[in-house]
Structure 1
Amino acid sequence: MASQGPEMTSPVCLIENTASGLQMNQEALEILSRIEQPVVVVAIVGLYRTGKSYLMNKLAGQKSGFSLGSTIQSHTKGIWVWCVPHPVKADHTLVLLDTEGLGDVEKGDTKNDCWIFALAILLGSSFVYNSRGTIDNQGEHFLNTDGYVTELTDLIKVKSQADNEEEDDIHYVRFFPNFVWAVRDFTLELKIEGKDVTQDEYLENALSLRKGTGKKVSDYNLPRQCIRNFFPTRKCFVFVPPTAPEKMKNMEFLPETELCPTFVQATREFYHYVFQQSDVKKLKGGHKVTGRSKPQ
């Protein structure tokens, strides 16, 4: 049996976001290098102050760990990692990556956000995009023409083994992660044109392409086409507000009995799906990753 790897009681910073740029943390790399088991990597990104860390703590089986924060400022900086025994897959390690909130006006650097977004995709075997309100919220930079997903081809280059030339977008899916869209504080009915729809149908409808030509149609379709191309395996979960606004700052300390039952059920469905459907991280060529083989 492979070594169980390091016992981590709390997360550590994997990639520091410094004034001079993103830098790897040697302590975290040493921890990862002691993991001999295959790793299942779940990375979460999204706008700051949208509750990413709460979901990651639930995946770790803990009430706290990744810092939630309770102010309007972005709390997580850089990318933090927490390695725990996989709760479902024996002899596997679950690697959780919590990322710095995107769109922090105090940082004022969208390119920095794009790199964090791209790194989360490259490192993850499952990629969770966490947003608030609705999928087509105009504040969501994810679906903008100049948004994070449309810049992936500029930040990530895939080389053909045969001739070392850059490959087409379709080749990205061979090592890109599964995609999960977590919609927080969702207060609408899941209906389209008066008919009940599933969460996944809600996502697919939001990603549907408009017919026609012209810049307006092209701008609308571009980010949606990118998501459809890059992430053929897609899943959606909607979460109602978990509790009253005045209790949100202490949410990590609240027992489930004080949270909205619908929210609790959605959270359980979310982490059960992630546990069951997130595969071992693979590199280009299908090579399974252990902690020792993680990109450095």
Structure 2
Amino acid sequence: MNNINFFTDYLLASLRLSVPLAFAALGGLWSERSGVLNIGLEGMLLAGAFASAAGAFFSGNVWVGMLLAIAVGGIVGILHAYLCVTLRVDQLVSGLAINLTVAGLTSFWSRILFNSGQAQTLPSINTIGIPFLQDIPIIGFLIFKQDPLVYLLFLLVPLSTYLLFRTSLGLSLRAVGEYPRAADTAGVSVALVRYIAVTLSGCLAALGGAYLSLVHVKFFVEDMSAGKGFIALAALIFGRWHPVSTVLACLLFGATEALQLRIQAFNLNIPYQFLVMLPYIIALLALVGLAGKSTPPAALGIPYIPESRDN
């Protein structure tokens, strides 16, 4: 029975550690499928964590915090789209600038708004159990007794897959990411599609940050994203820009992080620094091609300059 409990707790921890990664990775997927490289996922995730904590802390309502996180994430996404699509700034530089700016702003404002730079005693999101299904051993507790954000993630994976590969909206998005010139010729607004995709990317990544501060750790601390946005990017490459395989890659990274935490608890004679490195090592292996050759969208990272139609 103890082994079963340990295994169940491990699976639950793996899922909880994967959720912020999955939201950020899905956000990155929408952005990069449209051809806009989004290194700024780390900043978007951190902005969502701070905004949700601030909103929930001062209103006492967790849903106010959630809505504020989505709004702030959308604003950061619009900023990234403006820099990359309208001003045609180098997309890598824009993403890094967003990461650095958000890290500085959240550190500054958290010290002003919260005592010692930390927001604690945040209102919590209650879990919702599905009758009968939650009583299934292991699976019931893992899947059918979760908070609304996890259920939302379960819904977003098939929904994203359907929208991307079974609708005209998804076809337009993928065309803009692969052949923007052809999409423009067919009457698709490349700029509009990319603005919508990058804004949605910011909203989804911010939801990952909201889960991190309101559900997973239940407080905010400076730089609490701790590189999760970059691991989400690795999961995106590992999953070959497909919603299902990308989220499965996030589960792998979450399981790796949960494993290193449990190894530390056993007090083995292993320096903890090596264990902390484990999730990042797995991410690096993914980036160097552990999953095979990943082919990104053809126009990823390339600004689109429409041809003049004066003649």
TM-score category of the 2 structures, normalised to the smaller one:
under 0.3
Instruction: State TM-score, norm by structure 1.
Output: 0.25
Instruction: State TM-score, norm by structure 2.
Output: 0.24
Tell me which structure has the larger Cα radius of gyration: 2
Higher percent of residues as strand: 1
